Amino acid sequence: MTSANRLYRPMRTLLLAGVAVLAISACASNRGSMPSPDYSGMPAGQTQQSLAELTARYKSNPKDKGTIIYYAAALRAVGQNQQAVAALEMGMTYHPRDVDISVAYAKALTADGRFDQSLTVLDNVIRPDAPDWNALLVKGATLDQLGRNGEARQLYAQALTIAPGEASIEANLGLSYAMTNELPAAEQHLRRAVQMRGASSRIRQNLALIVGLQGRFDECRAMYAAELPPDQVESNMAYVRALLTQQNRWDMIEQG
């Protein structure tokens, strides 16, 4: 692995956290698809407990749409991306034309690094006359992974016109700017996101990271401390400082 890839990966991971976030409060049919939980910001023990419960539910009823989506989200939160893809591939056989399953499948593919396949799935479900904002969100995040940040931001802007005030969209917009080293813009969008409906612990932690990467360590630590146990706070602070010591890290993250 090249040094550029090593340095780019943290921002890819950061963005994928944004992919996992979908607002719980989405409800109207013209607002978007079925909401999906965000397990990625939970303490490890709580995530594992949720996964164990969802695994039992999935085994007892593998055709239930909601169970499939929640189970896959929990799998992604613990890094089991290939298993999440497999569960959703099975779900696609039970619900072949379902937008919710398709969007969840695309998220799992993106998390597994299968970007082109994810884009194909999304292009098959995004209607030009009535696009689904969740699908636009995931497509934008996938394009960001490919370095197509300008295209991604256009999709986020479109999603915001459909679902204004959704934290996940504003957060992904901020993370997109983080990937191109535009940290003040990233912070601005993430600060908006934490005030919106559906704002998750993961979004607040991403804001803390962006603050820390600008050298404001006390503020960063306080933000992490509001979300995480002390040992994880120290681990995250060490991660921030390690990023800051890497020479030319932002130049390497820039994409051609």
The structural domains of the chain, ordered by start, are: 3-253 (1.25.40.10)
**Per-residue confidence (pLDDT) for residue 251, from 0 to 100:** 40
Return the SS3 of 197: strand
CB distance 73 to 49 below 8 Å: no
Average pLDDT, the chain: 83
**CA–CA distance, 157 with 91 (Å, rounded to integer):** 30
Residue 110: exposure state from Cβ atoms within 10 A (0-12, 13-18, ≥19) = buried
Instruction: Report pLDDT digits (tens) over 109-151.
Output: 999 999 999 999 999 999 999 999 999 999 999 999 999 999 9
Residue 37 corresponds to which tokens in the numbers above? 């939980």
- The one-letter amino acid code at 251 reads D
- The CA-atom distances, in angstroms, between 118 and each of 28, 135, 136, 168, 217 are 25, 10, 12, 19, 37
- Among 32-41, 59-68, 210-219, 239-248, whose mean pLDDT is lowest? 32-41
Mean pLDDT on 240-251: 68
| 26-30, 128-132, 155-159, 165-169: which is most confident | 155-159
pTM given for the model: 0.81
Mean pLDDT on 158-178: 94
**CA–CA distance, 169 with 174 (Å, rounded to integer):** 9
Assess whether pLDDT exceeds 90 at residue 57: yes
Confidence band of 198 (pLDDT split at 50, 70, 90): confident
